[in-house]
Each structure stands twice: as structure tokens, then as C-alpha cells.
Amino acid sequence: MRQKKFNGLHFFLKPTKNFSGDIIVARYSPSGSVFILHADATGHGLSATVTLMPMVSIFKAMVQKGYRLESIAREINTTLHKYLPIDRFVAASMVEVDLNHQTLKVWNGGMPSLFLLSGQRELLYRFDSQHMSLGILPPNQFESRAEVSKIDKEAKLISFSDAVLEQKDPMGYHFGLNRVFQVLKTPKSSAVDLLCEMLVEHTGTDQFDDDVSIYEFSFLQAMEAQKALLVPKPITHTIADIAPFNWSLELYGRQIASQELPSQCNQFLNEMGFHQSFCQRVFTMISELVNNAVDHGLLKLTSLLKAGEEGFLTYYQEREERLEKLTVDDCLRISLRWFEDQQGPCFMLDVLDSGQGYTDTSRRSEINDEETHEFGRGLNLVKQLATEVTIKDRGAHVCVTLR
């Protein structure tokens, strides 16, 4: 038996043989978001493990570079569909936990439902499988859209492989979903520990007839561990280390929706030689500012849509519909500048969009505490990480300075 913790992630993984066809992998993105891959490959033993190896490599690499969940799912499916034999596939769920905004994305292809529980162990939501397992569909038929949910910091997410449900007692009765619900509603510190105990009790052995994998993710523990990212540190690079540069990119129409702009910027800064901690800080700010520019500047979405029980889902459905309607008249521009002035080394980030702006900053260009609520949680986070933030053209142009 193996049980480990990863800043809020508590999991159990037990193979039937020396090699497991189940995996649970967790990684941080540059912004501090947590990505979790839970997969169950066809078969058992070494052959199943080999099936999982390419998808784990893709998952780790793309999360590290800052790609979105949907892009990661598409890339893994494309690779598996190309290389796996026709009778092989991988049931999997992928989770993206945005700790800064307390939002949760779940893509579920062929795995049992994932359960979102409150701090009092009440069922808040279940993420049923809505997609085919990975490796079955060709890229042009694959659906990467994930479900999005708001999360409370006291909530926990539970995921398990189908072997949990299918374990039999000596009479041949399956463990089943009703027993799982009984465990989830029990006010105990770890649903993982209790599930393991009940499986052993049900089967009469700790040697299961299929690979078993379970995890429980605590949002509160993850948020506590992530706070260190929000402490800005002075730039330690000098012009002698990294020569000055000015890099910019403009996107139009549908390119705005399809390109991974924060990831591209992150990769560029890494290649230029900036420390990983600095790149993570810039990645977070670019992500927030690009989201603001697209959602509120170009798509003219209002956060008021998120109000109410179904508001969060409504907001993202409306967002997808408006993204489809972007034209060549819609433009998003980002500029990264590294230089030295009288105050020393300076990094400047500009994000501009062709929209009409989404806030009134005619009275002042500097964000202050009274105004941050107009920009939402995202721009407030940028303010925490930056040395200076300047708003122009009602929010259509945001300039960030780091020193």
C-alpha cells in the first residue's frame, strides 16, 4: 500500500501486481494552480503501465509550461489515439484547481463520478463521466470541454477508480456505490483511510483483484501551502545577466481563443534566463490580465452572471458562445519589456485589448483599495504581486511594473 500527501492531496494506490494500471499524478502550474491526473488503463501489470507512460510525460510537461486543462486533454488523447493499439484506451479524469479564484475544472472521460463534498460531508456536486476514454476518438471528434464549479475552501474532492465499486465479498456481492456514499458521509478526517478499511472488511483481504486507486483533495490545505506564491520578491536579475529586450505579440479573432498566451510568455521568459520564481510571478499576472481583457474587454461579460446557484455555469456557457463570435476586428496585444533606468533593472508588462474598457478610471490611473472591487479578484491579485499597476482607457490597457 502507498499513501502520500501533496499539499492537500491524500491518495491510496495499490496494484494487483508489481506494476499498476492506475496512476494519480499531481503537479503545480506556474500560477500555483493544482493539476491532478487520475487514470485507469486497459489491462493490468506492465502492459497497462507502459500505456500510461506517454500520457504522464505529456501531463507533467504541459502543466509545467502553463497550459490549460483542455489543451492538455486534447494533446494526451491525440498521442494515445496515434500510438495505442485499437483495443487499448485509458479512462481518466483531469482536474484543475485554481486556488487564486477558488474555482474547479473537471474533465472526466470514462472514470467513476468525482464527488465534491462540503466541510460537513454534504454532497455539493458530482462530476459524472461526460466524455469517451482517452485514445478512442480521433482529434477532430474529441471533446475537451471541462465542467467548471466554484469551490468553498472547506470543501474536498473525492475520486476513485472503478475497482473500488467492483471489489467482491466472499458471496460475490460488489462493494458498490451505496457503500461509497456511506463512507463519504462519515465525519472522519480521511475518506481515503475509511474507504481502504471498508474495502478490506468487505473483501476479507488486502489483496484486491484489480488495481485500486483513491484520492481526496483538501482545498483548505492547498490554499495554505500556496500563500507563499503571493509574497512578491525583488528582482535579483541584472542587465549584465540578461540583456534588454522588447517582445510583443498581437492576436486577432479566433486566435485569441485558441492560443495559450500565458504559456507562450512563460516559455519565452524561461528561455531568456529568468529564475523560475520570477517566471511564475509574471505568469500569474499575465493570466489574470489576459482573462480580464478577453472576458470583460472583448466579450463584454459581467461577473454579475456568476451570481446565484447556476450563475457560475451560466457565465462559462455564455463565455464559450461569445468566443465563437470573435472576429478579425477583435485584438489582444501583450508586450514584455526588460530594461534598466535610474532606479535599476525593470520589467514592464502591457496588456491591451480592442474593447471599450470595463471600468471608469478617469479619476486616477493607480489602483487603490477602494477601486479593487471593480476589477475583481484577479486584478487585486496582480496588485499584490506587482510593484506598480496603471490602468488606462477604462481597463483596455493595463501596464504592470516589477522591480
Residue 81 C-beta-side C-alpha neighbours within 13 Å = 17
C-alpha cell at 37: 491526473
> pLDDT: is 263 or 15 the higher one?
263
Distance set, CA 68 to CA 73, 173, 174, 202, 296 (Å): 9, 41, 37, 40, 20
Q: For residues 205 and 277, give the distance between their C-alpha atoms in angstroms, rounded to a whole number.
A: 47
Cross-sheet strand order for the sheet of 212-218: 2-6, 9-14, 212-218, 156-160, 114-117, 123-127
**H or E segment at 272?**
helix 261-272
**Can you spell out the DSSP letters for 60-82?**
HHHHHHT--HHHHHHHHHHHHHH
Q: Is the per-residue pLDDT at 2 higher than 50?
A: no
Q: What is the pLDDT of residues 186-234, one digit of tens each?
A: 876 688 999 999 999 999 888 887 889 999 999 988 887 777 666 677 8
Q: What mean pLDDT comes out for the span 356-372? A: 51
pLDDT at 329: 95
Question: Which pLDDT band holds residue 326 (cuts at 50, 70, 90)?
Answer: very high
**Residue 6 reports pLDDT greater than 70:** no
pLDDT at 88 over 60: yes
Residues 19-60: pLDDT tens digits?
778 999 999 999 889 999 999 998 766 777 788 989 999 999
Supply the pLDDT for residue 16. 79
What is the percentage of the chain residues whose pLDDT exceeds 90? 62
Residue 369 — pLDDT band, cuts 50, 70, 90? Answer: very low
Mean pLDDT of the chain: 88
For residue 377, pLDDT over 90 is answered with no
- pLDDT level of residue 304 (50, 70, 90 thresholds): confident
Identify the weakest region by mean pLDDT among 154-168, 173-187, 386-400: 173-187
| CA 302 to centroid of chain Cα atoms | 22
Looking up cell 473483501, which residue turns up? 203
Q: Does 271 score more than 90 pLDDT?
A: yes
- Is the pTM higher than 0.85? The answer reads yes
Determine the straight-line distance between the first and last CA of the chain, rounded to whole angstroms: 48
Angle, in degrees to the nearest 10, between helices 276-292 and 261-272: 150
Q: Please identify, in words, the CATH class of the domain defined by 231-402.
A: alpha beta
Q: Which residue did the predictor score with more confidence, 21 or 72?
A: 72
Residue 38 has a CB neighbour count (10 Å cut-off) of: 26
Considering just the CA atoms, what is the radius of gyration of the chain in Å?
Answer: 23
Looking at residue 228, what is its pLDDT?
64
pLDDT band at 167 (very low <50, low <70, confident <90, very high): very high
C-alpha cell at 261: 498566451
* Residue 288 near residue 378, CB atoms below 8 Å: yes
Considering the domain 2-226 in this protein, what is its CATH number? 3.60.40.10
Predicted pLDDT at 294? 95
Q: What is the pLDDT of residue 45?
A: 66
Predicted local confidence at residue 153, as pLDDT: 87
Per-residue confidence (pLDDT) for residue 251, from 0 to 100: 96
Residues of the chain with CATH 3.30.565.10: 231-402
Span(s) in the chain for CATH 3.60.40.10 = 2-226
Residue 208 φ/ψ, nearest 5 degrees = -80, 160
Lowest-confidence pick of 6-10, 239-243, 283-287: 6-10
Give yes or no for residue 174 having a pLDDT over 90. Answer: yes
